[in-house]
């Protein structure tokens, strides 16, 4: 429907058709949707008599290649993941994340001395989980200060 609407609105300026032995060559001139003053695009398509598209091309940025048997998205990705990419666990703890800027990371790795270690990236293994009593006190205090806090809706005693 979108393509027909664009045709109705005059984006397609010219359509040429030639049939040779039940093979159809269709050429067109189409206005750019984002750069109206530029030269029109010139897409073409070769269609067999049974409606199968044998080949197609466009002079737009997306049509830099000619469509043959398969498109790029029809096959598995041909690029390789970096060797250090670990996708087994995409989540990291905050303490394992490196949130420094690229400049700061470079200075740390090259050993430049003006780098100050961030105070928020401290590893501490002596923090224990809160007790059940401490959790209950925390949520009661939170309910007193912010009664509609989203986390309270997850707890049976505070949800309505």
Q: In the chain, pLDDT over 70 holds for what percent of residues?
A: 71
Whether the Cβ atoms of residue 14 and residue 22 lie closer than 8 Å to each other: no
User: Of 41, 25, 43, which is closest to residue 33 (Cα–Cα)?
Assistant: 41
Range 18-36 average pLDDT: 87
Residues 67-91: tens digit of each pLDDT: 455 555 566 655 666 666 666 666 6
How many residues in the chain?
160
Range 92-117 average pLDDT: 71
Whether the Cβ atoms of residue 37 and residue 52 lie closer than 8 Å to each other: no
Kindly tell me if the per-residue pLDDT of 2 is higher than 80. no
Q: What is the pTM of this model?
A: 0.38
Q: What pLDDT score was predicted for residue 145? A: 92
Which segments of the chain are extended strands (E)?
12-20, 23-30, 44-48, 53-57
Calpha distance 70→73 (Å, rounded):
8
Range 49-68 average pLDDT: 74
Tell me the average pLDDT of the chain.
Answer: 77
Q: Where are the domains of the chain?
A: 2-64, 130-155
């Amino acid at each position: 429907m979108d393509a027909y609407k664009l045709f109705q609105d005059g984006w397609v300026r010219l359509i040429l058709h030639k049939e040779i032995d039940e093979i159809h060559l269709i050429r067109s001139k189409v206005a750019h949707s984002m750069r109206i003053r530029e030269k029109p695009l010139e897409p073409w398509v070769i269609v067999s008599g049974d409606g199968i598209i044998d080949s197609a091309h466009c002079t737009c940025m997306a049509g830099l290649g000619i469509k043959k048997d398969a498109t790029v998205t029809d096959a598995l990705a041909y690029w390789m993941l970096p060797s250090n990419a670990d996708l087994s666990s995409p989540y990291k703890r905050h303490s394992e994340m490196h949130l420094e800027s690229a400049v700061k990371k470079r200075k740390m790795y090259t050993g430049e001395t003006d780098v100050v270690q961030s105070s928020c990236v401290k590893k501490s293994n002596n923090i224990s989980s809160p007790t059940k009593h401490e959790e209950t006190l925390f949520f009661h205090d939170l309910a007193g200060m912010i009664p509609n806090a989203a986390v309270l809706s997850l707890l049976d005693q505070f949800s309505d």
